[in-house]
Homo-oligomer: A and B are copies of this chain.
Amino acid sequence: MTTTTIPEVVVLRLPLYVRVLAALEGRGQGVVSSQELGTLLHATPAQIRKDLSYFGRFGKQGRGYQVSNLLKELRHIMGIDREWSVVLVGVGQLGSAILTYGGFAPQGFNILAAFDADPSKHGAAIGNVLVQDIAQIKSEAQRLGVHIGIVAVPVSHCQRVVDLLVDCGIRAILNYAPYQPTTPPGVWVRDIDPVVALQSMTYHLKTAEDQW
């Protein structure tokens, strides 16, 4: 058995592949070439083929890839052909918006519980969940069999909340606080920070301006 370990860049691209394949399927397209996928993904055909070849041989020479089949395979590879249990920590402005956002559940990410440190929020119902005391998180997380945590607390609390989630056995964390928490090996973190995204663009805007 030849288990090559997959480059992380490839793993980061897989969800994008799934996203466009799902769009193609929704549009009723049966077959797609690496050429066409490349155009849709702003990547070269060679990169698409190389990426997919890490996982198997899904295409047919002379034709391309069968959309529905490739989609099914990739979903399985990524582990998104199943449901994942998610908890949210921090039910403020952002946390409330996340709870009412309808984009997670259809993708198999079910936010089963929400926790906050502020007692005045406990018992409130937002989206489909009841806000609970953060002190309850360990027992609840274990009871619910939670896989993933979403962090929406102020920067100053980010690290301690992440530590808490790790202590609950959670090994994947989506972090909205503008801070990179430290985690033990085997715990995955993705940070979302729109300000950082904006700032990496102003560098280019400025640089374009500068060459007068």
Contacts and interface: CB of A to CB of B under 8 A. Distances in A.
Given A12-B200, A41-B180, A195-B103, A78 B188 contact: no
Nearest to A202: B79
A71 interface: no
B205 A197 contact: no
A19 B11 CA distance: 27
Interface stretch (A92-100, A118-126, A129-137): A92-100
A63 interface: no
Please state the number of chain copies in the assembly: 2
A24 to B, nearest CB: 13
A77 interface: yes
B206 A186 contact: no
Contacts of A190: 197-198, 200-201
Nearest to A189: B201
Contact of A174 (B41, B78, B178, B198): B198
A164 to B, nearest CB: 18
A109 B198 contact: yes
Contact of A97 (B79, B93, B201): B93
A112 interface: no
